[in-house]
Structure 1
């Protein structure tokens, strides 16, 4: 019983809360980014229905997360 109580004393200390927050944000951010990459036009999950999904991307569609030199239309 003593080992359990010391474990919870160290587990729920106020000094450790920022570590939990940073770790949680990092895990959520990495999961979001991996999900975003898995749904991109370069990834083929279904080869029978659409073997080349990158051919269906319209002109001017933003597929990158962050684009520095974006093309613009001169009108």
Structure 2
């Protein structure tokens, strides 16, 4: 196909911004998925070292925006399964 080799891109330089946008979108999507897999509280990778990972977020703010500043003084809405 035309436009997929360096020689054909040199013939038609208008394809360069198209390829730049596609590469930027792929890199951004890959970064976002990697960030969700490593930073999201819903995902855990170490079941053996931390069998109850939800307990770490009992007194932390993990929402993007919240009018509450200090979560450590509030009672958590999460159920306590140890009782």
Distance in 1 between residues matched to 2:42 and 2:28, nearest whole Å = 21
Gaps in structure 1 of 5+ consecutive residues = 1-6
1:21 aligns with 2:17: no
Query: Which structure 2 segments of 5+ residues have no match?
Result: 70-83
- Following superposition, the deviation at residue 24 of structure 1 comes to 1.2
Moved over 6 A (4+): none
Q: TM-score, normalised by structure 1?
A: 0.64
> Which structure's residues are more often helix, by fraction?
1
Shift, 1:53, TM fit: 1.6
- RMSD, aligned α-carbons: 2.1
Q: Which structure's relative contact order is higher, taking Cα pairs within 8 Å and 6+ residues apart?
A: 1
In the superposition, the TM-score normalised over structure 2's length comes to 0.59
Task: Count the aligned residue pairs.
Answer: 63
Contact 1:44 1:52 survives alignment (8 Å): no
* Counterpart in the other structure of 2:9: 11
SS at match of 1:14: coil
